[in-house]
Structure 1
Amino acid sequence: MNATSIRLIDPSDGPALSGLLARDAQAYARWLPARPADFYTPEGQASVVDSLLASHTRGLAWPGVMVSGETVIGQISISSILRGPFQKGYLGYWVSSLHQGRGHTSRAVGLALRIAEDELDLHRLEAHTRLDNVASQAVLRKHGFRSWGIAHDHFHADGAWHDKVFWERRLAGGSVS
């Protein structure tokens, strides 16, 4: 088994991401919002990557990819970073169905926690999961996240509104300057 790593997303990741997303579009329809057809193309992903890197440049996000060996297998990000008295961000991730069940997501979340604390100096990370996403909830629990509430009709996917469980994890970072 190849080791799992994460790194900042790169413009050259567009084709790999579009391939994974297109392949898993039906499988992930229940978890992700509806997207236009061009989202699943290399050009569409190039635009997404450019936008993510612009957010990173402004200090609003750390957009990354999950890598197994040399192969991009998914994405992991810390987004909506708030500074000042909050010092927090939101953790999000997905891994290709070809690579699920092998511990990649859990290892990637552990690595993202280090980045949030050491590089981004955050005090808190939050995440959201659908009520029925028990695999993701297990990953979050394993890494010390606690659920703190449910938002009803919070997210629209697969033609319907869905409730979301809110998760939090305090970090050692978070100096306020």
Structure 2
Amino acid sequence: MALLGADARRDFEIHRYPLLIYALVPLVALVLQAWLPRILGRFAWVDLPLVITVYFALGRRNPVQGTVIGAVMGLFEDALSHYAIGINGIAKTAVGFLAASVGIRVEVDNHTVRVLLIFVLSLVSSAIYLFVSRFMLGLAIEWSWLTELFRAVGNSVVGLVLFPVLDRLQIRE
């Protein structure tokens, strides 16, 4: 994991994809996130919109774009769920910003770095979700940090499998 100065940061590759990939991959992640729990029952161990948010935010290396990607993914996830609108939007907005900010400063094409980032950002997203829902909105939600640790591990495993597949869809120059 190389930490680089301001001059070397400009040399990082910004991942570019066809417009269809930017539309279809998040859409498929959102549909699967809403649909699979109804079929499989225990699909709650994975947060596909979070994994996709982290992937695109890391690849674009732009905090504004990471923030927008996170906000859109979170709000659409809220719209497709039975929870209050905006809770996931706030959490994924912060995650998108943090992922893109890390992508600017650290070379994140290493699989180990990506897995660790997904793990940490998954826990950050869970903490923000807990704070907003329980302390700001006063909702009585069931919460277990052990469950969130399992979810973070699940997100990391999915990211480990999904990131190389998405890397192949890049536009090569």
Q: Which has the higher strand share?
A: 1
Give the structure-1-normalised TM-score.
Answer: 0.29
